A and B are shown apart, each in its own frame.
Chain A
Amino acid sequence: MTDDITVPQGRSVAVPTWSSSLKVLLRADGTSQVRTPQALVINFALPLILLVASGLGKNSAALGGPQFRVSLALTVGLVSIGTIAYSLAIARDRDTGVLQRLRVTPAPTWTIMVSRWMVQLGAVLVMAMVVLVVAALFLGITLPPQDYLFTVLVALLGSAVFLSIGQAIVGLIASAETLNAAGRLLYVPLIALSVFGNTDRLGTTVEMVSRWSPGGCLETLLSAAMGASVWSGQSWGALFASFGYTVLFGVIGIRWFRWVSH
């Protein structure tokens, strides 16, 4: 073909910076998070219900003291946000093509995921503060000021652990429906393992497994951060194990992640 045709001129081909892409994605993902009723229930209602309910039973003291109630509520919130809310939201957006639509824009693909992670971290931060405030105002469970800071920092580390587990789940399971079922199945053991790390009622083996599970490590760290136990070799071990879990599940989740479900 040698025919002449007109060349339209003057179209912009500027690529926005990654920071401006991240900013608009954060605004959109944050708005979505706030408007999702299920996310609000999972992020706030469940931890608060547990915070109150864990002090009602006759044998509740056997599981731990008042700080344990707070740390359990935080752990439930973190597991809910990381493994359920995050992975399900990603899987649904993958199924419906939202992620693919974003990928054809000039936004770097990593900004799409980082924005989601940052919104979840924000949700964790708010959840942790709500739990701590409710514990202080209504249950009389107060901490020294510096322990509040440590507790929030540990909660953020815990959210990294459970977000990476959520990432691994969404990386390994293609469909949102399957993931929903698998997430529910995983939810109970993750919470249960967090609880039984503090008691040998089910035997020392269960206690040991529980103590070094992601939830158990988080419990250990929260306990130390809230001053319920002293910072010890076990706390260091839990800290390193938490970093290890984050890296391990994060690598699995990123390595096997697919942007489309089929």
Chain B
Amino acid sequence: MAGHFGGDALTTTQPNSTALTLALRVSGLRVAYGPKIAVDGIDLEVREGEIYGLLGPNGAGKTSALSAIEGLLRPAAGDIVIGEIDARAHPLQAKARLGVQLQATSFHSSLTLVEIVRLYAGLYGVTLSSSLIRELLGEINLQNEASKRFRELSGGQQQRFSLLIATIHDPALVLLDEPTAGLDPQGRRQLWDRIERFRKEGRSILLTTHSMEEAQAVCDRVAIMDHGKILTVGTPAALIAAHRDDPKVRQAAHGEVTLEDVFIALTGRELRD
């Protein structure tokens, strides 16, 4: 876990690296729904092998930003480059590099897990034998549920299965929209372990979350977003250090300053929709 790395993303750097390479570069991204601006010209960069967290209250623009990167929304302005592919000019090539877990995911309700895996593998041009599919299901402890429908799984099982589908094609960049929402502590920890394994396999991860605990535990760097803008970016430890003496942070803190205190100080205490 990144938190175990002392909050410094770069301690995960592997040998033979020579230059900073980006898995994702977003610049000047602007998303609007009619007159309402959901994302207001944000820039962000996710490095190869990095876990990057996008934090923000409800309505901050996190999911809209993610949706634009995923190709689900057409941005009003801005550039999105995935690896070296301009996602706006070559959306299908960009999608082929992305693994995506949406906030609310569902699959064909009549298909079994095996059939769903085969469908999504096929959509990414990956051919998997039945035995390999069962092996993959076994890796996420769903070998006995292979003949079940997605809706018949528990919340944790659904989350694990969605993540399997998101990474079925071995993507370089994985986008996770609130991946631990609704999970119990065991399920959450298990998911963090999987995310960490992804990083060890060399993937980059961009995730959104409401959980500061999750951001602190998992993310190498986090961006705090509100009203469509990115307010600050840094490692969790660096953000805490930078804002430790801010009077608003001190006011929010109950004892030792946490990332949540910084978050509350930057985004305010009022409830959002």
Contacts and interface: CB of A to CB of B under 8 A. Distances in A.
Contacts of B48: 5-8
A1 B20 contact: yes
B105 A106 contact: no
B271 interface: no
B251 interface: no
Contacts of B85: 13
Contacts of A12: 96, 125, 169-170
Contacts of B201: 8
B203 A97 contact: no
Interface of A: 1-8, 11-16, 20-21, 23-25, 27-29, 31-32, 35-36, 92-93, 96-98, 100-108, 259
Q: Which of A5, A29, A105 has the most CB of B within 10 A?
A: A5
A211 B80 CA distance: 54
Contacts of A102: 123
Contacts of A107: 123
Nearest to A37: B110
B77 interface: no
Interface stretch (B113-121, B133-141, B180-188): B113-121
Contacts of A11: 97, 170-172
B145 to A, nearest CB: 18
Given A12-B170, A97-B102, 7 more contacts: A12-B96, A13-B96, A15-B93, A24-B123, A93-B108, A101-B106, A104-B98
Contact of A27 (B21, B97, B109, B119): B119
B107 A101 contact: yes
A115 to B, nearest CB: 11
Contacts of B49: 5-6, 8
Interface residues of B, number: 53
Contacts of A100: 72, 102
Given A20-B122, A31-B115, A98-B106, A4 B97 contact: no
B144 interface: no
A107 B119 CA distance: 11
Nearest to A39: B110
Contacts of A93: 106, 108
A36 B201 CA distance: 40
B129 interface: no
Contact of B172 (A8, A24, A25): A8
A255 to B, nearest CB: 16
B120 A7 contact: no
Nearest to A3: B10
A103 B72 contact: yes
Contact of B105 (A7, A16, A29, A97): A97
B22 to A, nearest CB: 10
A25 B98 contact: no
Contacts of B97: 11, 13
9 nearest CB pairs, A to B: A8-B202, A24-B122, A16-B125, A6-B14, A96-B106, A35-B110, A105-B123, A32-B110, A104-B100
A28 B120 CA distance: 10
B124 A106 contact: yes
A111 to B, nearest CB: 9
A6 B118 contact: no
A12 B104 CA distance: 27
B125 A2 contact: no
Nearest to A29: B108
21 contacts: A1-B20, A4-B17, A4-B20, A6-B17, A13-B96, A13-B97, A14-B125, A15-B92, A16-B96, A24-B122, A28-B108, A28-B115, A29-B108, A31-B115, A36-B110, A97-B104, A97-B105, A98-B107, A103-B72, A104-B98, A104-B100
